A and B are shown apart, each in its own frame.
Chain A
Amino acid sequence: MFKGPTTIRDHSFEANLFARRAFIAFVFVLILIAVLFINVYQLQVTSFDSYQTRSNDNRIKLVPVPPNRGIIYDRNGVILAENKPVYNLEGISEKIKDLDKSLMALKKLLDITEQQEKNFLNDIKHNRRFKSQILKSRLNEKEVALFSVNQDKFPGFRVEARLARHYPHGDTLTHALGYVAKINKKELLKLDAENKSQNYRATRFIGKLGIEKFYEETLHGTVGSEKVEINNRGRVLRSISFTPPIPGNDLVLTMDISLQKAAQAALKGMRGAITVLDAKDGGILAMYSNPSYDPNLFVHGISSKNYKALLNSDRPLFNRVTQGRYAPASTIKPIISVLGLEEGIIDEKTTIRDQGFFQIPNVKHRWRDHLKWGHGKVDIYKAIEKSCDTFFYDMAYRLGITKISNFMAQFGFGDLSGIDIHEETSAILPSVEWKKERFNESWYPGDTISIGIGQGYWSATPIQIANAVNILANKGINHPPHLVSVAKLNEQLTILNNEEKPPIILKDNNHWDIPLRAMHNTVQKKSGTAYKAFKGHTYDAAGKTGTAQVVNIAQGEEYEKDKVKEKHRDNAMYVGFAPFSSPEIIVTITVENAGGGSSLGAPLARKIMDHYFANKAAEIAGNP
């Protein structure tokens, strides 16, 4: 079948031809191999650094590690806010043997809702097989125990503990501490704008209110990171290095939880506020606004049912201590007396004849005293002890609004107290300018009269009143009120809020002493308005009662027909301090629509002071 060529083949010619072609081919091969080599050389030598970096970027990931939030203590080291483990039941898809069977059995063991199961299955489906997904969050201790005993029956499932904020004293401290909750979108944008989002990469909670919000930066700490090696699916293979997070500062408050609890107990069933200041440094020993609410409800997101319950007419969310605007009423009579003495309008011996009302010359209107028939002959002592209104109508009339307004501003009225929480209002210290701006009306002499007894346009927050009384009791020394005294990181202490404001200096120190003595008499003398409430006390208290007519405590309440009567009742007020010679504590009481300060305010103050001095005595006895 092989048909040879017709002519004779020239074998050497053909061999030469082939050899030439093979040689040319080999040269081509050499050139192309050189091309390959040069290309690889460029990758491995010329661009080595860049590719090495890209290779490391591929495999090395920084996993942020959240810092532990600082713990909040009261002045005696009692924990007020802590980080407690929360237990979640989680499952890792690739380790679960029989998903359907496991879920069936788990549902029998624990209370797992349809929704939880649905979410879990969805999470498993849409995430990497090695990622842990939550089936049921926040297990209680019984559930944890129940699962742990049966754990071997559920391969791939486990209970994971995560730290979350917890407030062991519940509603006792809410208006001071505030709370943390999950970071929302708005807060994320704000963190971005402040260049803080890097530090919050691993953080889930942020301070929303109170101290938790005000001291967010101090409490939060600095994020740490773990350098890990990952594969192309993001699975962590090993840890390369670890930079531990720096925990947030612990905070030590000026508050005393035991006194705070006493304040809560005292206000039970009432709407109102109690503030106790440390007279030595302005530290807040207690501040309680009733009604309150449990901050723990908010940490993991409050249910709408629970939230609706908080929106009742008693307004538990409202911080009365710093946001409640009340007429200060007679509690400011001692301070206005200081001004009267300083201005020479009155002296220790000045008396008036009180026939039950005050009249501006040539004006018909009568400003009535609370005692219809009048107090008779009244000097400054009697005027404060018995809370004579007419005396102060007269003095205010003669002082004029501008002097009163300027002087009261020095005591912090009409301005934020500077307390270290953001929820505060400056309330209203009226002045000619204020009225012009607010109502576009001139100030009438008649407007000044009721200012003399802390009524009229004047409103103040309980913390402002407490601050003013503190300045008075300390004879002009001004320690602004505050909640936090020390920030603590490891053993390093930072003292906070120890600055003093410039003191109020009078021409004559006696101008402090006379009204203070009168306050002493109010409690000590049988004729004083607080005598009855403080009968038998042992710590030499001084004080002043107040009964505020409710004209406008309107902070947006709705008009509720069946409550009208109650809401028109007077607010009971009391301010006091003890011991008289060297004040330690300042106590202020405000009870809404309760009635008289003498019968309702003073007894509450007594309870607080009794508690404070009993504790102190016990402490001294305990540490001889």
Chain B
Amino acid sequence: MNPLKHKKTIWDKIHIDLPLLLALIVLLAASLFIVYSAGGQELPIVFRQLKRLGVALLIMVVLAQISPSTLQRFVIPLYTFGIILLIAVLIVGVSSKGAQRWLNIGITRIQPSEIMKLLVPMMVAWYIGKYHLPPKLKHLFIGFLLVMLPTYLIYKQPDLGTSILIASSGIFVLFLAGVSWRLVGSVCAIGAISAWPLWTYGMHAYQKQRVLTFLNPESDPLGSGYHIIQSKIAIGSGGVEGKGWLHGTQSQLEFLPERHTDFIFSVLSEEFGLVGVTLLLAAYLFIIARGLFIAVNAQDAFGKLLAGSLTLTFFVYIFVNIGMVSGLLPVVGVPLPLISYGGTSMVTLLAGFGMIMSVATHKRMLVHT
């Protein structure tokens, strides 16, 4: 690298990717307004969200300082520790809403599956990145196991949403590493064929119900189809320009369920219309493009795979959430990234962006190593 060509800026020194940071800040600021409207117009909720944002941004900045090589050094013990925590959750976890996701560690409760959202792509990226790309079948197989073990443990909690996100993050690493198209094709075929036994034996009754409701929500308008119908009404009645901030009747009059968490996209669509949706999607697209740009320009395989996988997983959040609330996908508990109210996913997401920034800003150091 020619130091004349690339002058180190103040942002490089503090390991922050400015375009990414600005895009994130814009979305997070917007989220405060939407959460205020969706949360019953109560300021305390906004303040709580603001506090979490502060913590999450701090964690992002801290992680951005840790170089990818340092991360690689600790990836095995971290991953192992994560798996142990997941097993512990299944044995001594705390239940909430029919699922065992939390671990009580005295001072606070932690959700190990959230940490795994970062550790799984790290672990697989490290393992696959060790070898030549494209990976050999043996490494692929082991990599796949590294993904499926935590995926299964989380699915058992049961937490379908998170297990999908974790599986995708691992699979993305394998895909980006250059798995042959033939293998991609056969895996897809096997997946399609195994859908039937999964439906018959592998899914909980409530999960099946969600899928059925998704296929025909109007069949049970007051029961399980209620959420989707009300959400579609909210989105549809927003029209092009929306009903205006704080004026969405579906959300303000509480016809929308979970309106400040999973269904916050419906609130946004109702109050800001197609204009708001377009701006949101544009912002997301920018972040994804920037993330992939960083990945492509990363200097080693680990950095590329990690940044690429985290970026694409970020997109899975978006697609699953918006697809769910607008009736394209079954109801799966995945928040709208950077917008939904809630601390845990916010911290995980920004931590991920911290790692992407680290990949973006630690190039020269890697070269000299």
Q: Which residues of A contact B (CB under 8 A)?
A: 2-3, 5, 7, 9-10, 13-15, 17-19, 21-22, 25-26, 29-30, 32-33, 35-37, 39-41, 43-45, 47-48, 50-52, 54-56, 58-59, 229-233, 237
Q: Give chain A nearest CB distance to B85 CB in angstroms.
A: 23
Enumerate B269-300 residues with CB–CB distance to A below 8 Å: 269, 273-274, 277-278, 281, 284-285, 288-289, 292, 295-296
Write out the residue numbers on chain A whose beta carbons fall within 8 Å of the beta carbon of B238.
Answer: 44
Write out the residue numbers on chain A whose beta carbons fall within 8 Å of the beta carbon of B308.
Answer: 18, 21-22, 25
- Taken together as a complex, chains A and B put the C-alpha atoms of A413 and B247 apart, in Å, by 73
For the complex of A and B, the 7 pairs showing the least CB-CB separation, nearest first, are A51-B236, A55-B237, A231-B253, A43-B236, A14-B133, A232-B254, A17-B178
Tell me which of A18, A19, A44 has the highest count of chain B C-beta atoms within 10 A of its own C-beta: A44
A21 touches B176 (CB 8 A): yes
Write out the residue numbers on chain B whose beta carbons fall within 8 Å of the beta carbon of A7.
Answer: 132
- Among the listed A26, A230, A237, which residue makes an inter-chain contact with B289, where contact means beta carbons less than 8 Å apart? A26
Q: Does B235 contact A (CB under 8 A)?
A: yes
Q: Does B323 contact A (CB under 8 A)?
A: yes
Enumerate B115-140 residues with CB–CB distance to A below 8 Å: 130-134
B238-249, CB under 8 A of A: which get 1 and which 0? Answer: 111000000001
Q: Give chain B nearest CB distance to A128 CB in angstroms.
A: 14
- Among the listed B72, B255, B278, B305, which residue makes an inter-chain contact with A37, where contact means beta carbons less than 8 Å apart? B278
A21 touches B178 (CB 8 A): yes
- Taken together as a complex, chains A and B put the C-alpha atoms of A44 and B278 apart, in Å, by 12
Q: Does B101 contact A (CB under 8 A)?
A: no
A237 touches B281 (CB 8 A): no
Q: Does B67 contact A (CB under 8 A)?
A: no
Q: Give chain A nearest CB distance to B356 CB in angstroms.
A: 13
Q: Does B59 contact A (CB under 8 A)?
A: no
Interface size on B, residues (CB 8 A): 52
B70-112, CB under 8 A of A: which get 1 and which 0? Answer: 0010000000000000000000000000000000000000000
- Among the listed B72, B253, B288, B328, which residue makes an inter-chain contact with A26, where contact means beta carbons less than 8 Å apart? B288
- Taken together as a complex, chains A and B put the C-alpha atoms of A40 and B318 apart, in Å, by 14
- Taken together as a complex, chains A and B put the C-alpha atoms of A58 and B236 apart, in Å, by 14
If A18-B178, A48-B236, A50-B236 touch, whether A40 touches B274 (CB-CB below 8 Å) is: yes
B176 touches A44 (CB 8 A): no
What residue in chain A is nearest B274 (Cβ atoms)? A44
What residue in chain A is nearest B249 (Cβ atoms)? A59
Q: Does B358 contact A (CB under 8 A)?
A: no
Write out the residue numbers on chain B whose beta carbons fall within 8 Å of the beta carbon of A22.
Answer: 176, 292, 295-296, 304, 308
Tell me which of B239, B240, B269 has the highest count of chain A C-beta atoms within 10 A of its own C-beta: B239
A33 touches B284 (CB 8 A): yes
Question: Contacts A33-B281, A37-B278, A58-B250 given; 12 further ones with Cβ under 8 A?
Answer: A3-B130, A5-B131, A17-B133, A18-B295, A18-B304, A22-B176, A29-B315, A30-B285, A40-B235, A40-B269, A44-B269, A52-B237
Write out the residue numbers on chain A whose beta carbons fall within 8 Å of the beta carbon of B347.
Answer: none
What residue in chain A is nearest B321 (Cβ atoms)? A36
Write out the residue numbers on chain A whose beta carbons fall within 8 Å of the beta carbon of B312.
Answer: 25, 29
A58 touches B255 (CB 8 A): yes
Q: Does B214 contact A (CB under 8 A)?
A: no
B234 touches A55 (CB 8 A): yes
What residue in chain A is nearest B239 (Cβ atoms)? A48
What residue in chain A is nearest B175 (Cβ atoms)? A21
Write out the residue numbers on chain B whose beta carbons fall within 8 Å of the beta carbon of A233.
Answer: 254
Enumerate B156-191 residues with CB–CB distance to A below 8 Å: 172, 175-178
Write out the residue numbers on chain B whose beta carbons fall within 8 Å of the beta carbon of A59.
Answer: 249-250, 253, 255
If A36-B281, A43-B235 touch, whether A18 touches B326 (CB-CB below 8 Å) is: no
Write out the residue numbers on chain B whose beta carbons fall within 8 Å of the beta carbon of A37.
Answer: 277-278, 281
- Taken together as a complex, chains A and B put the C-alpha atoms of A328 and B281 apart, in Å, by 96
If A5-B131, A18-B304 touch, whether A58 touches B233 (CB-CB below 8 Å) is: yes
A45 touches B274 (CB 8 A): yes
Query: 25 A-B pairs, CB-CB below 8 angstroms?
Result: A2-B72, A9-B132, A14-B301, A17-B134, A18-B178, A18-B301, A25-B292, A25-B312, A29-B315, A36-B326, A39-B327, A40-B326, A43-B235, A43-B327, A44-B269, A45-B240, A52-B237, A54-B236, A55-B250, A56-B249, A58-B230, A58-B250, A229-B253, A230-B253, A231-B253
What residue in chain A is nearest B234 (Cβ atoms)? A55
Q: Which residues of B contact A (CB under 8 A)?
A: 72, 130-134, 172, 175-178, 230, 232-240, 249-250, 253-255, 269, 273-274, 277-278, 281, 284-285, 288-289, 292, 295-296, 301, 304-305, 308, 312, 315, 318-319, 322-323, 326-328
Q: Give chain A nearest CB distance to B242 CB in angstroms.
A: 9
- Taken together as a complex, chains A and B put the C-alpha atoms of A7 and B233 apart, in Å, by 59
B274 touches A19 (CB 8 A): no
What residue in chain B is nearest A54 (Cβ atoms)? B233
What residue in chain A is nearest B323 (Cβ atoms)? A36
- Taken together as a complex, chains A and B put the C-alpha atoms of A19 and B86 apart, in Å, by 34
- Taken together as a complex, chains A and B put the C-alpha atoms of A9 and B132 apart, in Å, by 6
B249 touches A55 (CB 8 A): yes
- Taken together as a complex, chains A and B put the C-alpha atoms of A51 and B232 apart, in Å, by 8
- Taken together as a complex, chains A and B put the C-alpha atoms of A32 and B281 apart, in Å, by 11
Q: Give chain A nearest CB distance to B133 CB in angstroms.
A: 4
If A22-B296, A36-B326, A54-B233 touch, whether A45 touches B239 (CB-CB below 8 Å) is: yes
Q: Give chain B nearest CB distance to A348 CB in angstroms.
A: 88
Write out the residue numbers on chain A whose beta carbons fall within 8 Å of the beta carbon of B323.
Answer: 36, 39
Write out the residue numbers on chain A whose beta carbons fall within 8 Å of the beta carbon of B175.
Answer: 21, 25
If A9-B132, A55-B249, A231-B253 touch, whether A43 touches B178 (CB-CB below 8 Å) is: no
What residue in chain A is nearest B328 (Cβ atoms)? A39
Write out the residue numbers on chain A whose beta carbons fall within 8 Å of the beta carbon of B315.
Answer: 29, 32
What residue in chain B is nearest A237 (Cβ atoms)? B253
Q: Give chain B nearest CB distance to A55 CB in angstroms.
A: 4
Tell me which of A10, A40, A47 has the highest count of chain B C-beta atoms within 10 A of its own C-beta: A40
Write out the residue numbers on chain A whose beta carbons fall within 8 Å of the beta carbon of B254.
Answer: 231-233
Q: Give chain B nearest CB distance to A43 CB in angstroms.
A: 4
- Taken together as a complex, chains A and B put the C-alpha atoms of A48 and B232 apart, in Å, by 10
Q: Give chain A nearest CB distance to B209 CB in angstroms.
A: 21
B326 touches A39 (CB 8 A): yes
- Taken together as a complex, chains A and B put the C-alpha atoms of A17 and B132 apart, in Å, by 11
What residue in chain B is nearest A17 (Cβ atoms)? B178
Write out the residue numbers on chain B whose beta carbons fall within 8 Å of the beta carbon of A229.
Answer: 249, 253
Q: Give chain B nearest CB distance to A36 CB in angstroms.
A: 5
- Taken together as a complex, chains A and B put the C-alpha atoms of A17 and B253 apart, in Å, by 52
A232 touches B239 (CB 8 A): no
Write out the residue numbers on chain A whose beta carbons fall within 8 Å of the beta carbon of B250.
Answer: 55, 58-59
Q: Give chain A nearest CB distance to B367 CB in angstroms.
A: 11
Q: Give chain B nearest CB distance to A32 CB in angstroms.
A: 5
- Taken together as a complex, chains A and B put the C-alpha atoms of A52 and B240 apart, in Å, by 12
- Among the listed A13, A25, A35, A48, which residue makes an inter-chain contact with B172, where contact means beta carbons less than 8 Å apart? A25
Tell me which of A5, A13, A22 has the highest count of chain B C-beta atoms within 10 A of its own C-beta: A22
- Taken together as a complex, chains A and B put the C-alpha atoms of A5 and B300 apart, in Å, by 14
B277 touches A25 (CB 8 A): no
- Taken together as a complex, chains A and B put the C-alpha atoms of A233 and B323 apart, in Å, by 28
- Taken together as a complex, chains A and B put the C-alpha atoms of A35 and B320 apart, in Å, by 12
- Taken together as a complex, chains A and B put the C-alpha atoms of A232 and B239 apart, in Å, by 22
Write out the residue numbers on chain B whose beta carbons fall within 8 Å of the beta carbon of A56.
Answer: 249
What residue in chain A is nearest B242 (Cβ atoms)? A44
B296 touches A19 (CB 8 A): yes
Write out the residue numbers on chain B whose beta carbons fall within 8 Å of the beta carbon of A13.
Answer: 133
Write out the residue numbers on chain A whose beta carbons fall within 8 Å of the beta carbon of B178.
Answer: 14, 17-18, 21
A51 touches B237 (CB 8 A): yes
What residue in chain A is nearest B301 (Cβ atoms)? A14
What residue in chain B is nearest A40 (Cβ atoms)? B277
- Taken together as a complex, chains A and B put the C-alpha atoms of A441 and B234 apart, in Å, by 82
What residue in chain B is nearest A7 (Cβ atoms)? B132
- Among the listed A36, A40, A41, A58, which residue makes an inter-chain contact with B319, where contact means beta carbons less than 8 Å apart? A36
- Taken together as a complex, chains A and B put the C-alpha atoms of A15 and B298 apart, in Å, by 9
Write out the residue numbers on chain B whose beta carbons fall within 8 Å of the beta carbon of A14.
Answer: 132-133, 178, 301
- Taken together as a complex, chains A and B put the C-alpha atoms of A62 and B250 apart, in Å, by 18
Write out the residue numbers on chain B whose beta carbons fall within 8 Å of the beta carbon of A39.
Answer: 323, 326-328
If A25-B308, A36-B323 touch, whether A51 touches B249 (CB-CB below 8 Å) is: no
